[in-house]
Amino acid sequence: MIAVKYKYEKVVDQIRKLIEDGTYAERLPSVRVLAGTFGVNNRTVMKALEELENERLVYTDSTRGVMVAKGPAAKPKSGIINIIYPSGFVVEGKIEDHGLIRELSVLLTARGYRPIVTMQCEAVMDNRMYWANNPCDGYILISFKEKEALSWHRIISKLQLPAVYFCNILGTQKNYNWVDFDNVDAMRELFARLEKAGAQRLGDLALIDAGHRRIAYAEANHASHQRDERMAWYKDFLEKSETPLPGYFFDRTIDESIVNRKELNRAHEQFVEDYACQLLAGGSPPTAVYFFFNHPEPLIRVFAEAGLKLKRDYIVILKKMFFEDAPPVGEDFPTILANCTTATEKMVDKLLNSIENPRAPLSGELIPAEFDMIHDEDLYLRVKI
């Protein structure tokens, strides 16, 4: 059977040949001109350009249009991989001892590369010459702020540097590698379990305790495309569950200018306390609260002052990262475990493939969160519905 090519694939082939023979040596004509040249509509041309960008043959310059990628400048292999994180990524102790950094370093060393860890101020990170003159073979960028990572991505894309991002924070971009946890699907699975809780344990008595319906979701995270997706899905869940709004919907982000760890902790604590007060003010407190990297103590305190007892009137579910060489023990709450080891392996594979195969397609990948929840039976506590 002869494979039939789509129109956009034929356009891809034609533009590729025109780039190879030098007809398009620096910049491609406009979408409208290309559409007229190849006798197709604008949408077909845009699809073709997206494919060419994925192949790293072209890239989009916001001021000049679609440019022909020249490829990275030839330079001797250094064997160095630069792990970079912003000044706002604050951890206790030495950064080299942080679980994520440690596992990346071990994996890179095992593959014959020498990892170096760098924290640069954002003014340097946004400097195009910094990247152009850096002798490293590739980069791993750890960032949880969309605005910050996007500025790096624009430079890296133009210079065609091998790089991988930790976190799907560039949701509108095509030409980059990234690895992140599938947080929305994790929420869907968790909420489905909560809705069934009670029925599995109580059998015929499930008519009394049919499961959790009033589920609160707490996230004080930096603004990003991915966060917007999580909040949109949760709001949709509330509306379909006919849960009153805005009592359970609390859309607030943490000030991105805060870099001091103590100030950041206070901001998160204040968020949780304010959210707890809003939940109580709604008149129907939740029977389950899911925390996305926030600590629940302020909520537990506020609820206790209102006469609500943990594991009698409501439950708390956490989500935490863990590493296979140091799994968490002694958790006090049901916990979704996001296995960072899986993510670090994917990051290293993607980056080294990008280095060793310069024309390998760039792509993103979501890593499913582990659902071997600690104290999973706590989901089935008899609570007042």
Q: In terms of domains, do 201 and 157 share one?
A: no
pLDDT in tens, 269-327: 999 999 999 999 988 899 899 998 888 999 999 999 999 999 888 889 988 877 765 54
Q: In terms of domains, do 59 and 90 share one?
A: no
Examine residue 278 and state whether it is found in any structural domain, yes or no.
yes
Nearest alpha carbon to residue 217 among 268, 288, 115, 127: 288
Which pLDDT band holds residue 39 (cuts at 50, 70, 90)? very high
At which of 43, 67, 91 does a domain end?
67
pLDDT at 93 > cutoff 70: no
* C-alpha distances in Å from residue 138, one per residue of 52, 79, 89, 113, 352: 22, 9, 20, 10, 8
Q: In terms of domains, do 187 and 295 share one?
A: yes
List CB contacts of 383: < 8 A, sequence separation 6 or more.
Answer: 209, 212, 287, 288, 312, 313, 314, 315
Q: In terms of domains, do 94 and 37 share one?
A: no
Read off the pLDDT of each residue in 331-335 and give the average, rounded to a whole number. Answer: 78
Q: In which domain, by residue range, is 283 found?
A: 183-339+370-380
Q: In terms of domains, do 151 and 228 share one?
A: no
Examine residue 2 and state whether it is found in any structural domain, yes or no.
no
Q: In terms of domains, do 90 and 115 share one?
A: yes
Which pLDDT band holds residue 114 (cuts at 50, 70, 90)? very high
Examine residue 239 and state whether it is found in any structural domain, yes or no.
yes
Examine residue 74 and state whether it is found in any structural domain, yes or no.
no
Q: In terms of domains, do 284 and 345 share one?
A: no
DSSP string, 113-174: -EEEEEEE-HHHHT-HHHHHT---SEEEEE---HHHHHHHHHHHHHHT--EEEESS--TT--
Examine residue 24 and state whether it is found in any structural domain, yes or no.
yes
* C-alpha distances in Å from residue 221, one per residue of 55, 121, 145, 146: 33, 21, 9, 11
**Number of domains the chain contains:** 3
* pTM for the model: 0.76
pLDDT score recorded for residue 169: 64
Helix 31-38 with 42-54: angle, nearest 10 deg: 110
Read off the pLDDT of each residue in 144-167 and give the average, rounded to a whole number. Answer: 79
Examine residue 75 and state whether it is found in any structural domain, yes or no.
no
* C-alpha distances in Å from residue 293, one per residue of 21, 101, 149, 183, 300: 53, 19, 20, 12, 16
Read off the pLDDT of each residue in 251-264 and give the average, rounded to a whole number. Answer: 75
Q: In terms of domains, do 334 and 194 share one?
A: yes
Q: In terms of domains, do 213 and 319 share one?
A: yes
Q: In terms of domains, do 155 and 238 share one?
A: no
List CB contacts of 115: < 8 A, sequence separation 6 or more.
Answer: 80, 81, 82, 83, 104, 105, 108, 109
Q: In terms of domains, do 206 and 335 share one?
A: yes
CATH number at residue 18: 1.10.10.10
Distance CA 209, CA 237 (A): 20
Instruction: Count Cβ atoms within 10 A of the Cβ of residue 168 and give its class: 0-12 exposed, 13-18 middle, 19 or more buried.
Output: buried
Examine residue 211 and state whether it is found in any structural domain, yes or no.
yes
CATH number at residue 217: 3.40.50.2300
Cβ atoms of 128 and 159 closer than 8 Å: yes
pLDDT at 3 > cutoff 60: no
pLDDT score recorded for residue 208: 45
pLDDT in tens, 16-36: 888 888 888 888 999 999 999
Examine residue 335 and state whether it is found in any structural domain, yes or no.
yes
Q: In terms of domains, do 236 and 326 share one?
A: yes
